[in-house]
Amino acid sequence: MDLLKNLFQEKFQAQAKEVKELLKEHGDKTVDDVKVEQVFGGMRDITSMLWEPSLLDAEEGIRFRGYSIPELREKLPRAAQGTEPLPEGLFWLMLVGEIPTKEQVKWLTDNWTRRANVPEHVFKAIDVLPADTHPMTQFSIGILAMQNTSTFAQRYNAGINRTEYWDATYEDAMNLIARLPRIAAYIFRRVYHNGDHVLPDITLDWGGNFSHMLGYQDEGFREYMRLFLTIHADHEGGNASAHTTHLVGSTLSDPYLAFSAAMNALAGPLHGLANQEVIRWIQKMTQTLGTTKPSREQIAEYVKSTLAGGRVIPGYGHAVLRKPDPRFMAQRQFCEDNVPDSDLVKVVWKIFDVVPPILSSLGKVKNPWPNVDAHSGAVLVHYGLKEYNFYTVLFGVSRALGVMAGLCWARALSLPLERPKSVTTEWIKAYLQKE
Ligand code: NMX
Ligand code: MLT
C-alpha cells in the first residue's frame, strides 16, 4: 500500500472508532435549530453536514485542519527557491491532518506525475465540442469522459465489499487530481492557442507543470499559480461545489461523476464564475470611463450604476464570511511583494476602498467585503493570462484537492446517502398555525 494511503487508513480507522463512540453517547443531542427564514433562505448557516478537510469561521476565514492561510504560507513545503506553498502539501494536510515534510510532498508530486496520463478518448471528447463552448463546460465533459476509467465503478461492478469503498475512492481521487492539469491546459491551448499544445514536463511539481502546460514559463506566474491552487482548494463543506461533490458522491456515484457535477456548480456566477465576472466588470468599467486609472469617485459612480441596473457587484459579499476574505488578503500581499506596478491591481485595491461602504449603505448586504474572486483576475492579467472565460477552470483544478479529500473521508467514515427533508409553503403555514 502506498505511503499516503497507509497513513490515511491509520487516521480514519482511529477516527471511525471515535465517531462510533461519540454517536453512541451523544447521537441524540441537538447541534442546531432551524428557522423558517433558513428554509426559504438557501439553508444558510444550518449545521447539518460533516466535512473534515477545512472549517470556516465567519470572522476569521478558512482554516485547513486548523491552519490559517498565513500559517500555510509559512509552514507548507515550497518549490526550490519558491516562496509560496506547494498545493500537494495542502492535499496531504487535508487528507491526513498533518503538515507533510518536503520528502513527503516530493513523494506525492512523483506519485501524481506517474498517474497523470489522460486517456486519448478524453481529448477526442473535448475536440468534438465547438471551440466557443465555455471552458467550464469543456472541463466538466472532459472529467466525465474519464469516468470509464473509474476504479470505484469497476470494483463496485465486480462486487467490492463496502469496507473497501474508501480504497477505490482514494485511487480515483489521486488519479483525477493528477490528470486535471493536463485536461485544463489542453482546453486552454485548444481554445486560445489554435490547439498548439504544450507537453508535460515531468520534472516539475503539480502547479509548476500546470503553468508550463498552459504555456507560462515565468517563475513569477508559477509561484502565483501555486498560491492560487492552494487558497482555492477548500472552503468547508457547504459551498456549492463541495456540497455537490458530497451529495452526488453519497449515492455511490464514483469521484468522476461527483466532481464533474461539482464543476457545473462552480460554473455559476454566484460561485466560481465570479472570478471571470470580476475582470469582465472591471474591463467594462475602465472602457466606459475611458481610463485604466479611474479615481475612487469614478469607481463609486460606476458601482452605483451597476446596482441601479439590478446587478450584483461581482467578487463582493459572501454567504458565510463576514470579514475581508483572507484569500483576497493573501493575493493582495502577494501583489504588494511581486506585482506592485500593475494599473489593474491598483484598481482592484481602489475598489476595495470604495465598494464596502456602498454595499453597507444598502442595508441588506450581510457582508460588504471582497471574496477570493475579487483579486485573482487582475493578477492573472498581469502575468499575461487575459482569457477570463478560463479563470473558473483554474479554480476548478484547485477545488479538486479539497473535495476529493472530503469524498475520501465520506467513504472512509461510511457516510450515508444524503437526503434532507423538504417541505412545502403549505406545510410551513400549517406548522405555524399549530405553534
Ligand atoms: N452586490 C449587490 N448585492 C449584493 C451583493 C453584491 N456583491 N451581495 C449580496 N447582495 C444582496 C443579495 O443579492 C441580497 O439581495 P436581495 O435580498 O434583494 O435578494 C442581499 O444582498 C442579501 O444577501 P446576503 O445575505 O448578503 O448574501 P447571500 O448569502 O444571499 O449571497 C453571494 C452570497 C456570494 C451569492 C452574494 O454576496 C453575491 O451575489 N455576490 C456577488 C457574486 C460573487 O462574488 N460570488 C462569489 C462568491 C465566492 N465564490 O467563489 O463562490
Ligand atoms: C468557496 O470558496 O466555495 C466560496 O467562497 C463560496 C462559499 O464558501 O460558500
Q: What is the model's pLDDT at position 173? A: 99
Residue 313 Cβ < 6 Å to ligand 1: yes
pLDDT digits (tens, 9 = 90+) for 269-283: 999 999 999 999 999
pLDDT digits (tens, 9 = 90+) for 232-252: 999 999 999 999 999 999 999
Residue 392 Cβ < 6 Å to ligand 1: no
Residue 399 Cβ < 6 Å to ligand 1: no
φ, ψ of residue 259 in degrees (nearest 5) = -75, -35
φ, ψ of residue 61 in degrees (nearest 5) = 100, -165
pLDDT digits (tens, 9 = 90+) for 251-271: 999 999 999 999 999 999 999
Q: Which ligand ends up closest to the CA of 37?
A: 1
Catalytic hit among 271, 325, 375, 382: 271
234 part of the active site? no
* DSSP string for residues in 358-391: HHHHTS--S--SB-THHHHHHHHHHTT---GGGH
Q: Which ligand ends up closest to the CA of 308?
A: 1
Nearest of 112, 5, 63 to residue 412 by alpha carbon: 5
Q: Which residues line ligand 2 (CB under 6 A)?
A: 235, 239, 319-320, 371-372
Centre of ligand 1 from the C-alpha of residue 344, in Å: 23
Cell of 258: 461527483
Residue 265 Cβ < 6 Å to ligand 1: no
Q: Is the pLDDT of residue 1 over 80?
A: no
Given pLDDT bands bounded at 50, 70 and 90, which one contains residue 143? Answer: very high
Residue 364 Cβ < 6 Å to ligand 1: yes
pLDDT digits (tens, 9 = 90+) for 189-204: 999 999 999 999 999 9
373 part of the active site? yes
pLDDT digits (tens, 9 = 90+) for 379-435: 999 999 999 999 999 999 999 999 999 999 999 999 999 999 999 999 999 999 998
**Residue whose CA lies nearest to ligand 2 atom number 1:** 235
Given pLDDT bands bounded at 50, 70 and 90, which one contains residue 223? Answer: very high
The strand pairing partners of 250, in sequence order, are none
Residue 395 Cβ < 6 Å to ligand 1: no
Centre of ligand 1 from the C-alpha of residue 314, in Å: 9
Catalytic hit among 318, 325, 375, 382: 318
Distances (CA, A) of 391 to 30, 97, 153, 184, 319: 41, 29, 31, 11, 21
Q: Percent of the chain, pLDDT > 90?
A: 100
Indicate whether this model's pTM tops 0.95: yes
pLDDT digits (tens, 9 = 90+) for 13-49: 999 999 999 999 999 999 999 999 999 999 999 999 9
**How much is the mean pLDDT over the chain?**
98
The average pLDDT across 322-330 equals: 98
Centre of ligand 1 from the C-alpha of residue 365, in Å: 7
Q: Which ligand ends up closest to the CA of 327?
A: 2
Distances (CA, A) of 177 to 104, 264, 359: 17, 17, 38
Q: What is the model's pLDDT at position 435? A: 86
**Residue whose CA lies nearest to ligand 2 atom number 3:** 239
Catalytic hit among 234, 373, 375, 382: 373
The average pLDDT across 169-177 equals: 98
271 part of the active site? yes
